[in-house]
Amino acid sequence: MKKILLISIVSLSLLCLTACTDKIETQPKEEQKENDEKEVTQITPEGGLGDTLKVFEQNYGPNSGNNDLASFKNDYIQPSFWEGKADSFYFMLIRTDKANWTKEQVLNEMKKVIPNDAVKVKEYFYRENPQMEVIEYTSESLKNVFDDLYEPEEPGNFNILLYKEEDIFISASAHVGKPPEE
């Protein structure tokens, strides 16, 4: 008798869960579709700061990293994500066939991964490492993506760091938030 009662309770529970799941899933699918459409909104020319992993995959192909620290094109492109949005981005210049990158070439690559509305604030060399150049920017679209991420800092600020070794650019990165001090 206990066995039949237990089977009946389990069966009824599964039936209720199935019915509830069907009701729950119909409404969120529409919301999920809206979220997916919002998620694909791209604020950079080719996928970069503030963009989603989905945008990166659409622009650069398969991710050989994970959802928090992605990797594309033989580790040349390495974004990291905070709450699903890229908050930092690395170009590993030494991972390419190109031997010597000029500053202009590096900045042209970086323009592809920073917000379209980015405005340069200032540029300087990091005092503790004169081989590292810092360029500060601000962006309204990035501010909208990370409106409360880096409190008490002003949202929308980001910086580009250009790294040199023996006067050869080896990597470049972009980061949301405050840059290293002058």
Domain that holds residue 9: 1-39
Helices (H), the chain: 2-39, 53-60, 103-111, 140-145
CB 36 within 8 A of CB 84: no
In this structure, are 69 and 34 located in the same domain?
Answer: no
Is residue 106 included in any domain, yes or no?
Answer: yes
pLDDT score of 5: 33
In this structure, are 34 and 67 located in the same domain?
Answer: no
The answer to which of 38-52, 72-86, 102-116, 121-135 has the lowest mean pLDDT is 38-52
Is residue 165 included in any domain, yes or no?
Answer: yes
In this structure, are 105 and 26 located in the same domain?
Answer: no
Rounded average pLDDT over 163-170: 89
pLDDT score of 43: 94
User: Residue 9 above 50 pLDDT?
Assistant: no
- Local structure of residue 106 (DSSP, 8 states): H
User: Residue 155 above 90 pLDDT?
Assistant: no
Mean pLDDT score of the chain: 79
45 vs 121: CA distance, rounded Å:
20
Is residue 129 included in any domain, yes or no?
Answer: yes
- What's the pLDDT tens digit per position in 40-84? 589 999 999 999 999 999 999 999 999 999 999 989 999 999 889
Nearest C-alpha neighbor of 124 from the set 136, 113, 115, 114: 136
In this structure, are 31 and 59 located in the same domain?
Answer: no
Is residue 181 included in any domain, yes or no?
Answer: no
In this structure, are 129 and 84 located in the same domain?
Answer: yes
Is residue 81 included in any domain, yes or no?
Answer: yes
Nearest C-alpha neighbor of 155 from the set 126, 181, 178, 130: 178
In this structure, are 25 and 72 located in the same domain?
Answer: no
In this structure, are 114 and 86 located in the same domain?
Answer: yes
pLDDT score of 40: 55
Count the Cβ atoms, other than its own, within 10 Å of residue 180: 14
In this structure, are 111 and 158 located in the same domain?
Answer: yes
CA end-to-end distance (rounded Å), the chain? 79
In this structure, are 76 and 157 located in the same domain?
Answer: yes
Is residue 44 included in any domain, yes or no?
Answer: no
pTM of the model as a whole:
0.74
Is residue 46 included in any domain, yes or no?
Answer: no
Q: Using 50, 70 and 90 to split pLDDT, how confident is the model at 100?
A: confident
Nearest C-alpha neighbor of 119 from the set 105, 102, 140: 140
In this structure, are 57 and 34 located in the same domain?
Answer: no
Q: How many domains does the chain have?
A: 2
Rounded average pLDDT over 127-136: 90
Rounded average pLDDT over 174-180: 86
The most distant pair of C-alpha atoms in the chain lies apart, rounded to whole Å, by: 83
Is residue 142 included in any domain, yes or no?
Answer: yes
